[in-house]
Structure 1
């Protein structure tokens, strides 16, 4: 090696050693995590939450963690399989709904019972706390990153608004989950259940007359063009229902990470993340409602006295759920009582 070549090599080595470790690390990701979800890429959840959250984790890890997002079930399978895909290693992180696998995650499903919702942020805070207290054993092989809920669902229908039990008679409605479907059936509706991704076909071909969903879903599926009426409980009452969500990570993927990168994941998950996603969903809700209003659709109000009657009719659903929790070794009455306390206090 010539003197000039040796000097250049020493200079390059010195520059490399002088470069901060985080800059050297940032040149290439150490860990690539695949995040799988069921909504289309145009959904606000991807552009306004998943993408910024992934960037925050990349920045916090100095580029060592790269989260690649796969919307619309691009890694294969159906939405009800997302939790198992995390456990099996098909993906590293998944965003899913416990109600897509009824009775499998009963504590996580509890706030999906009728009238167990305030707004999305407050309900998400309550759900995270409920899971911390009662749901620790439900997601074996998975590391829950956050639990949350959407705002109370509304009745979106064709032909007429639904503001009373009488209006419900004979209507074919897509139910958002099993428990809410039981309530709608008790009120006189004919209910069907399938994932929200199949709802557009059901409305377009006349299989259903309407659905029960929050406003936040409206823009992604152009629901304002498929229905003409929306109805919600009078202000002050709890919402008709919410669906609960789980953001899950594979324990194996987490365990393979170095302790400093695990700290990054830990810092970007938990109660603060649940509250953040809930607040995000409240913003999505306001935007979705604006699309219904822009379309010129009718927005009706379900009177408080009607909602009170519907809540009484839901009591057998709560009793049955307490029994299911009991079958899993939990005190079902205590779980429901605590859920209501957290909602009232949120």
Structure 2
């Protein structure tokens, strides 16, 4: 076979084999967790695979974990609003007071499991939260698995044990709660926890089981205080996955449909379910290390719940003074939680 014949056959083969097409849309997705966290492995990566498959490869993600696009976790929402990122996943409560509507789900002893609470939260958002998130296009609103108290200095068996302890709190509501419990709250994003704990800047933190091993906190903690699983959780935090509004609106209708089909109540519930499923294995890691676990129940838990009721009353009064229908919002959240309870 001559060189010319080989060249001709090669050219013919190239024409017969379609070249891989670059995606029309590459979405920059930013979050604050490390790559090993459930948020990326069990939620973001599968979600990105779904939208790529559903768009026949026309749309894909480029994920930026651990704040790789710069800034700090509290700035993530604004990064989405400004278009620094196309999609972010963040904690609205990191920006105190900016999202008053969804704070009701962070009140003490509201949530049980993350899946049903996330379903309730999305339904609540559609009724009360659209104004707060008007600068972006929300894809999911969800909560974590139940949150507990984790400490080093001493075990927490009653309210008085918290007196004087410096406890990391993630949101404005939890800061109010732990102030009322006698602790000294220290607000900081989750990625700052390991260093703050190891250097003694804080004596403990409140966090869900799922998040503890994601930054190896079980290796830095001695005591873990849970609450009676038959009761609503001490606390949970609201998370939001949101998209830059102009980026969403610029998509052709068929790609918008791909986003729409993979966002909303079912996506929110699926994220919650991922957290619920990740909680027990994460807890077992603390058990395997020989850390001390105890549970608040009975009269000890009632004392915490009494203070929680006080915090909820104060939240209703505060939001009412700001012109919000706070009692209605609170009652609606409770009704939705009951309606969606598993």
Q: Check whether TM > 0.5.
A: yes
- Indicate the residue corresponding to 1:119 in structure 2: 113
Deviations along 1:14-73, one digit per CA (max 9) or x if unpaired, are 969xx8xxxx8x622011110000011121211121111101110000000011100010
TM-score normalised over the length of structure 2: 0.92
**Cα separation, 1, equivalents of 2:323 and 2:130:** 13
1:198 pairs with one of 192, 199, 205: 192
Report 1:247-326 matches (<5 A).
247-326=241-320
- Indicate the residue corresponding to 1:93 in structure 2: 87
* Secondary structure in structure 1 of the residue aligned to 2:278: helix
Cα distance 1:329–1:182, how it changes in 2: closer, same or farther (>3 A)?
A: closer
**Cα separation, 2, equivalents of 1:191 and 1:28:** 49
Contact 1:231 1:299 in 2 (8 A): yes
**Which portions of structure 1, spanning 4 or more consecutive aligned residues, are displaced by more than 6 angstroms?**
none
* Secondary structure in structure 1 of the residue aligned to 2:22: coil
Cα deviation for residue 178 of structure 1 reads 1.8
- Indicate the residue corresponding to 1:224 in structure 2: 218
Contact 1:143 1:249 in 2 (8 A): yes
**Cα separation, 1, equivalents of 2:309 and 2:160:** 20
* Secondary structure in structure 1 of the residue aligned to 2:302: helix
Deviations along 1:106-131, one digit per CA (max 9) or x if unpaired, are 11222111112101111111111110
Contact 1:111 1:127 in 2 (8 A): yes
| More displaced 10-residue stretch of structure 1: 290-299 or 312-321 | 312-321
- Indicate the residue corresponding to 1:48 in structure 2: 42
Which ranges of structure 1 fall in alignment gaps of 5 or more residues?
A: none
Which ranges of structure 2 fall in alignment gaps of 5 or more residues?
A: none
TM-score normalised over the length of structure 1: 0.91
Contact 2:97 2:172 in 1 (8 A): no
Cα deviation for residue 329 of structure 1 reads 4.1
Contact 1:120 1:281 in 2 (8 A): yes
Contact 2:166 2:184 in 1 (8 A): yes
Q: Does the alignment pair 1:154 with 2:156?
A: no
| More displaced 10-residue stretch of structure 1: 171-180 or 58-67 | 171-180
Deviations along 1:259-293, one digit per CA (max 9) or x if unpaired, are 00000000000111011000001112122111111
- Indicate the residue corresponding to 1:73 in structure 2: 67
* Secondary structure in structure 2 of the residue aligned to 1:50: helix
Cα deviation for residue 235 of structure 1 reads 2.5
Report 1:226-245 matches (<5 A).
226-245=220-239
Q: Let me know the Cα RMSD of the aligned residues.
A: 2.1
**Cα separation, 2, equivalents of 1:188 and 1:181:** 11
* Secondary structure in structure 2 of the residue aligned to 1:216: coil
- Indicate the residue corresponding to 1:166 in structure 2: 160
Cα deviation for residue 167 of structure 1 reads 1.4
Deviations along 1:169-195, one digit per CA (max 9) or x if unpaired, are 221211122212222222221211111
Aligned residues: 332
| More displaced 10-residue stretch of structure 1: 314-323 or 54-63 | 314-323
Cα distance 1:328–1:131, how it changes in 2: closer, same or farther (>3 A)?
A: farther
| More displaced 10-residue stretch of structure 1: 271-280 or 325-334 | 325-334
